[in-house]
Structure 1
Amino acid sequence: MADNTPIDIIHSREYDDPATSKDGRRQSLGPKRDTAIQGAKSGEDIPPDGGYGWVCVASVFWINAHTWGINSSYGVFLSHYLSHDVFPNTSPLMYAFTGGLSISCALLVAPLATYLIHLFGIRVVLNMGVFFETLSLIGSSFVTQRWQIFLSQGVCFGLGMGFLFVGSVGITPQWFYRRRSLAMGINAAGSGLGGLIYSLAVGAIIPRLGLSWAFRILGIISCVVNLVCANLLRDRNKAVGTRFKAFPFPLLKRPEFLLFLGWGIFTMLGYVAVLFSIANFALSVGLSAHQSSVIGALLNLGQGLGRPFVGMFSDKLGRINIATFLTFLCGLFCLLIWTFAKSMGFVSFFAVLVGTVAGTYWATVAPVLAEIIELKDLPGGLSLTWLFLVAPTTVAEPIALVLRDNDSNDRVYLHVQIFTGLMYIAAGVCLWLVRGWKVGDNIRVKEERSSSAIHQDKTGGVVVPQQGGESGDNNSGANCSPLPPKSALWYPHTLVCRMVSAKKV
Structure 2
Amino acid sequence: MKSLNTETSSLHSLDTWPSESASGSKNADVKNGVSNANSGEITSTSPLKNRPSNDDDEDDVNKTGKLDRLLVNQLELEDAYKIKTNRESAISSHSFPNEAASVTTEEDVRQTVVSKVFTNRSTGELSLPPDGGYGWVCCACLTVVFLSTWGASAGSGIFLAYYLNTEAFPGATKYDYALIAGFNVFGGQGFSPPAMILARMIGFRATMCLGVVILFTGFFLASFATKLWQLYLTQGFLFGLGIAFVFIPATTILPGWFLKKRSTAFGISYLGTGAGGVIYSISVQEMITKTGNQRWALRMLAIVCAATCTLATILLRQRVPSKPVGFKSWCVIKQQILLVFQWRVVKTYKINLVCVWTTFTLFGYNLMIFTLSPYGVSRGLSSKQSSLLTIVLNAAQCVGRPTIGVIGDRYGRVNTTVVLTSILAIFLFAFWIPSHTFVQLIMFSICMGLCIGVGNVMSVVLMADISGTEDFLPAWGYSNTFTSPFLLLSEVIAQALVSKQNQSNPYLYAQIFAGICFLVALVLVLLLRETIVKLRLEEIHRDTKALDGEACNLESNGIAYANYPQPGFSTFLKRMFHRMKV
Q: TM-score band (shorter)?
A: 0.7 to 0.9
1:120-135 superposed matches below 5 A: 120-135=202-217
Amino acid at match of 2:493: I
TM-score (norm 2): 0.74
Amino acid at match of 1:290: K
SS at match of 2:341: coil
Cα distance in 2 for residues equivalent to 1:416 and 1:83? 18
* Matched residue, 1:16: 56
CA-CA distance at 1:10 after TM superposition:
6.8
CA-CA distance at 1:180 after TM superposition:
5.0
Is 1:226 paired with 2:266?
Answer: no
* Matched residue, 2:66: 32
1:234-245 superposed matches below 5 A: 234=317, 245=339
1:80-479 superposed matches below 5 A: 80-172=162-254, 180-209=262-291, 210-234=293-317, 245-375=339-469, 377-445=471-539
Deviations 1:29-75 (A, max 9, x none): 89736847997798444774832544443322221111111111221
CA-CA distance at 1:444 after TM superposition:
4.2
Distance 1:55 1:371, change over 3 A: farther
The structure 1 residue matched to 2:142, chosen from 36, 49, 60, is: 60
Cα distance in 2 for residues equivalent to 1:255 and 1:101? 29
* Matched residue, 2:131: 50
Cα distance in 2 for residues equivalent to 1:180 and 1:399? 38
Amino acid at match of 2:309: N
8 Å Cα contact 1:170-1:378 kept in structure 2 = no
Cα distance in 2 for residues equivalent to 1:57 and 1:428? 33
Q: Unpaired runs of 5+ in structure 2?
A: 18-51, 72-109, 119-127, 323-334
Amino acid at match of 1:97: L
Distance 1:384 1:306, change over 3 A: same
SS at match of 2:237: helix
SS at match of 2:340: coil
Deviations 1:207-255 (A, max 9, x none): 213422111111111112111223434457999xx98723122112211
8 Å Cα contact 1:480-1:498 kept in structure 2 = no
8 Å Cα contact 1:206-1:214 kept in structure 2 = yes
Cα distance in 1 for residues equivalent to 2:275 and 2:546? 49
Amino acid at match of 1:83: N
* Percent of aligned pairs with the same amino acid: 28
Distance 1:393 1:307, change over 3 A: same
* Matched residue, 1:468: none
TM-score (norm 1): 0.84
Distance 1:225 1:33, change over 3 A: closer
Root-mean-square deviation (Å): 3.5
CA-CA distance at 1:186 after TM superposition:
3.4
The structure 1 residue matched to 2:12, chosen from 7, 14, 24, is: 7
Amino acid at match of 1:168: A
Distance 1:108 1:285, change over 3 A: same
Cα distance in 2 for residues equivalent to 1:189 and 1:491? 45
Cα distance in 2 for residues equivalent to 1:179 and 1:498? 33
Moved more, 82-91 or 111-120: 111-120
CA-CA distance at 1:121 after TM superposition:
2.8
The structure 1 residue matched to 2:579, chosen from 487, 502, 505, is: 502
Distance 1:89 1:56, change over 3 A: same
8 Å Cα contact 1:50-1:175 kept in structure 2 = yes
Distance 1:17 1:360, change over 3 A: same
Cα distance in 2 for residues equivalent to 1:173 and 1:376? 17
Cα distance in 2 for residues equivalent to 1:193 and 1:489? 48
Distance 1:18 1:73, change over 3 A: same
Cα distance in 2 for residues equivalent to 1:197 and 1:377? 38
SS at match of 1:315: helix
Cα distance in 2 for residues equivalent to 1:484 and 1:232? 56
Distance 1:253 1:4, change over 3 A: farther
Amino acid at match of 1:16: D
Cα distance in 1 for residues equivalent to 2:113 and 2:531? 29
8 Å Cα contact 1:114-1:379 kept in structure 2 = no
Distance 1:403 1:173, change over 3 A: farther
